[in-house]
Amino acid sequence: MKRYFDYYTSMMKFSVMEQWQYPVANYFYMIGMLAEPVIYMVVWSAVANQQGGTVGGYTPGSLAAYYIVWTLVRQMNIAFTPYGWEWRIRQGRLSMSLLRPIHPLHEDVAFFAGWKVVMIILWIPLALALSLIFKPDLHPTLLEGVVFFVAIWMAYLIRTITLSLLGMVTFWTTRVSALFELYFAAELILSGRLVPLSLMPEAVQKAAWFFPFRWAFGYPIEVLVGNMPTNDLFIGLGMQFAWVFFGVVVVSQIWKVAIRRFSAVGG
């Protein structure tokens, strides 16, 4: 246990130091990502205004809150891309990680977790600017705040697991971009990224419950923005833990089979 703790703290420290060197590049990256939620926010605020102030239970103020929290959750959702796995496997970069006496996935989890710390610090001024412009209606309770803090890190773990599983498909075939595109489209619709799920048709809302997407995206936002009953707050956390547990089991089983197929040299 101590071995893992030490590994994680030093890897995260390393990643914080590395990413802190490029604040400008990180900022451009974040600003580029802001366009998407701002567009959604403006469109749905226009819809809400036309309908006399609310749409699907959201006012322009709570929509602003939803999409501003969205920007933080989006940052938390960044993990090693499945396209990167293709490069890792084809170029044999994985060989190096395999030599170390620790599972290679820990490196990803720790590195990106460290990067998150930098991203959250850089995010704060952007969130303040967005709040001044769009005036969000946000009144979280202390409990909601605590649950949110846990939920965004669980969301990060869930997305890391699903993206790693997707990336591991490259052990079998390198023609994967079509699959990845389909995955990202399903995620866009079912996660609450395109619109809050309460604006979706009933059937989609029900379906979303059974996929990991919403637990990695929409749920943490709703914790902070929506007035969720305390019960639902904890059901959500339970679903997140269940997905992480299930994901870890699946990843470790598939990894055992997948790694036997890896034959690249060099790297």
Partner 1 sequence: MQGFKLAFNYLRIGIMNEFQYRANLYIQILQTFIALATGLIGLNLVFNQVTELGGWNKAELLAVMGVFTVTGGFIRAAIQPNMERLMDEIREGTLDYALTKPADAQLLVSVREFRLWQMVDVVTGVIVMIVALSQLDWFVDFWSVLGFFSALFLGAIMIYCFWLIITSTAFWFVRVNEIANLFEGLYAAGRWPVDIYPNWLRYGLTFLVPVAFAVTVPAQALTGRLTLQTWFGALALTVTLFIVARTVWKVGVKNYSGASA
Site of interaction with partner 1 (CB under 8 A):
25, 28-29, 31-36, 38-39, 42-44, 46-47, 50-51, 55-56, 175, 177-178, 181-182, 185, 188-189, 194-195, 199-201
- Nearer of residues 74 and 148 to partner 1, judged by Cβ: 74
- Nearer of residues 44 and 217 to partner 1, judged by Cβ: 44
Taking the mean position of all CA atoms in its chain, how far away is CA 217?
6
40 close to 195: Cβ distance less than 8 angstroms: yes
- Nearer of residues 22 and 246 to partner 1, judged by Cβ: 22
Q: Minimum distance between the CB of residue 197 and partner 1, rounded to whole angstroms? A: 11
Q: Minimum distance between the CB of residue 147 and partner 1, rounded to whole angstroms? A: 28
Q: Minimum distance between the CB of residue 38 and partner 1, rounded to whole angstroms? A: 7
Task: Give CA–CA dist 23/21, Å, rounded.
Answer: 6
Q: Minimum distance between the CB of residue 218 and partner 1, rounded to whole angstroms? A: 15
- Nearer of residues 40 and 148 to partner 1, judged by Cβ: 40
- Nearer of residues 44 and 171 to partner 1, judged by Cβ: 44
Task: Name residue 185's amino acid.
Answer: A
- Nearer of residues 8 and 211 to partner 1, judged by Cβ: 211
Angle (CA) 8-212-189 rounded to 5° is 125
The residue written with tokens 């591991």 in the block is 168
- Nearer of residues 16 and 199 to partner 1, judged by Cβ: 199
β-bridge partners, 55 = 58
Q: Minimum distance between the CB of residue 175 and partner 1, rounded to whole angstroms? A: 8
102 close to 1: Cβ distance less than 8 angstroms: no
Helix/strand number for the chain, H first, E second: 12, 0
Q: Minimum distance between the CB of residue 39 and partner 1, rounded to whole angstroms? A: 5
Question: Which of 233, 226, 236 is closest to 65 using CA atoms?
Answer: 226
Token couple for 258: 């997948």
Task: Give CA–CA dist 2/252, Å, rounded.
Answer: 21
Q: Minimum distance between the CB of residue 158 and partner 1, rounded to whole angstroms? A: 22
Q: Minimum distance between the CB of residue 82 and partner 1, rounded to whole angstroms? A: 15
Task: Give CA–CA dist 258/94, Å, rounded.
Answer: 12
Angle (CA) 245-169-88 rounded to 5° is 100
Token couple for 7: 């590994």
Task: Name residue 47's amino acid.
Answer: V
- Nearer of residues 50 and 231 to partner 1, judged by Cβ: 50
How many beta carbons lie within 10 A of that of residue 212, not counting itself? 23
